[in-house]
């Protein structure tokens, strides 16, 4: 099972190529240790495949048992691995150790080193990247190089998914983030990401700043308070859908997957207010499904379609 990706992948026209880390999340408790697939970009790819989107993943995993488990999980949903994705000896891990009093400590064993692929011959409709892959050397250099090559070929979406423990100083991280924003079409971040990057700004100010850096659409998620979608001419506030929350694992990545689906299926109206409304409602519906059940289990295409029959109301201001 230790294949190094499908050698024919770059020659096939994919709807989306996701570039970023796939790792194993390890949770150690006094009762035992559990492992489950993780990594924000890999979760986005998984969510896209479950929504019926033709998706390729360029990542950096090991030729070990954990790599096998990740490949089985992602391929089982329909994700295609691009060449070089199993180039390491050991798959990266993120470990949370839970003490008897409930306190948690975290440790990371992460290597991110990706060999850039030439995707310009048969470019996908959209490229997504973010999280650790956009910050951690040496792989982050390759990610940036691929975005520079593809920026005029396709839509590029970016979710920084800030992990302070793995970054340098705030100033360094913000510089890296802003250098990538000008290569992208759509930037999505959580309110926690926004507060860490721009602690003195209101969310609307941060969205305006991101647009000023070159993005066409800035999206900021606000948990149970919904999300903010902003272009240079329109700002919409989309409420979160009411649901019973089991846990919030994978909610942001599920939102991102559905946002990408909306970008691919929006028709010819660009980013008109009606399009922004539909994008926000589609993503909110996906997140609501994910938080209503345990673990990172994003919706299928049929589940999302059913959920969208109960869309929230539009709130907008210029």
pLDDT in tens, 112-130: 999 889 998 899 999 999 9
Q: Which residues does 19 contact at the CB level (< 8 Å), separation at least 6?
A: 41, 57, 58, 59, 114, 127, 128, 129, 133, 143, 146
pLDDT-based confidence at residue 311 (cuts at 50, 70, 90): low
Look at the chain and count its residues: 318
Pair of tokens at residue 310:
């109960």
308 in the same domain as 169: yes
Out of 12-16, 59-63, 135-139, 255-259, pick the least confident: 12-16
Is 44 part of any domain?
yes
Task: Say what the pLDDT of residue 9 is.
Answer: 44
What does the pLDDT average to over 251-274? 93
Closest CA to 173 of 141, 138, 135: 135
Instruction: Determine the average pLDDT of the residues in 129-143.
Output: 95
- Same domain? 185 vs 283: yes
Residue 143 in 3-state DSSP? helix
The residue among 313 and 15 whose pLDDT is bigger is 15
Q: Decide if pLDDT at 2 tops 50.
A: no
Tell me if 230 is assigned to some domain: yes
Residue with tokens 């994003």: 298
295 with 243, same domain? yes
229: β partners: 219, 236
Residue 119 lies in a domain: no
Indicate if 176 and 67 belong to the same structural domain: no
Phi first, then psi, for residue 95 (nearest 5°) are -115, 130
The total domain count for the chain is: 2
Write the DSSP symbol of residue 172: H
CA–CA separation, 98 vs 83, rounded Å?
A: 37
- Average the pLDDT over each of 115-119, 146-150, 257-261, 293-297 and give the range with the smallest value: 293-297
Q: Are residue 40 and residue 107 in the same domain, yes or no?
A: yes
Q: Which domain holds residue 287?
A: 154-318
Asked whether residue 122 is assigned to any structural domain, the reply reads: no
CATH number for 198: 3.40.1190.20
Residue 238's alpha-carbon distances to 103, 273, 280, in angstroms, are: 34, 12, 6
Q: Could you tell me the pLDDT band of residue 308, with boundaries at 50, 70 and 90?
A: confident
Tens-place pLDDT, residues 193-234 = 999 999 999 999 999 999 999 999 999 999 989 999 999 999
Same domain, 210 and 269: yes
**Same-domain check for residues 240 and 295:** yes
Q: Sign of dihedral through CA atoms 275, 281, 282, 287? A: positive
Under the banding of pLDDT at 50, 70 and 90, the label for residue 240 is: confident
Task: Tell me whether residue 134 is in a domain.
Answer: no
**Is residue 186 domain-shared with residue 294, that is, in the same domain?**
yes
Q: Are strands 16-19 and 126-130 parallel, antiparallel or unpaired?
A: parallel
pLDDT at 7: 37
What's the average model confidence in pLDDT over 3-25?
Answer: 72
- The answer to whether the pTM exceeds 0.85 is yes
Helix (H) or strand (E) holding 102: none
């Amino acid at each position: 099972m230790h294949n190094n990706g499908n050698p024919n992948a770059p020659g096939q026209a994919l709807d989306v190529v996701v570039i970023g880390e796939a790792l194993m999340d390890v949770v150690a408790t006094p009762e035992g240790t559990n492992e489950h697939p993780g990594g924000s970009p890999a979760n986005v790819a998984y969510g896209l495949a479950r929504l019926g989107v033709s998706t390729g993943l360029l990542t950096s995993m090991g030729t070990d048992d954990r790599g096998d488990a990740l490949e089985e999980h992602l391929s089982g949903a329909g994700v295609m691995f691009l060449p070089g994705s199993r180039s390491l000896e050991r798959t990266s891990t993120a470990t949370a150790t839970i003490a008897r009093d409930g306190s948690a400590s975290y440790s990371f064993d992460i290597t991110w080193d990706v060999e850039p692929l030439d995707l310009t011959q048969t470019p996908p409709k959209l490229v997504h990247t973010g999280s650790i892959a956009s910050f951690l050397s040496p792989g982050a250099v390759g990610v940036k190089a691929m975005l520079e090559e593809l920026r005029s070929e396709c839509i590029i979406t970016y979710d920084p998914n800030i992990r302070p423990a793995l970054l340098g100083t705030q100033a360094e991280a913000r510089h890296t983030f802003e250098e990538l924003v000008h290569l992208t079409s759509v930037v999505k971040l959580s309110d926690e990401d926004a507060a860490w990057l721009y602690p003195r700004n209101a969310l609307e100010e941060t969205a305006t700043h991101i647009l000023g850096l070159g993005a066409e659409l800035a999206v900021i998620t606000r948990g149970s308070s919904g999300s903010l979608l902003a272009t240079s001419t329109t700002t919409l506030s989309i409420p979160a859908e009411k649901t019973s929350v089991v846990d919030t694992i994978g909610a942001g990545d599920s939102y991102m997957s559905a946002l990408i689906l909306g970008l691919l299926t929006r028709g010819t109206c660009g980013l008109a207010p009606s399009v922004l409304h539909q994008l926000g409602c589609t993503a909110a519906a996906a997140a609501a499904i994910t938080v209503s059940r345990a673990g990172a289990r994003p919706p299928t295409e049929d589940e999302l379609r059913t959920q969208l029959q109960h869309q929230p109301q539009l709130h907008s201001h210029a």
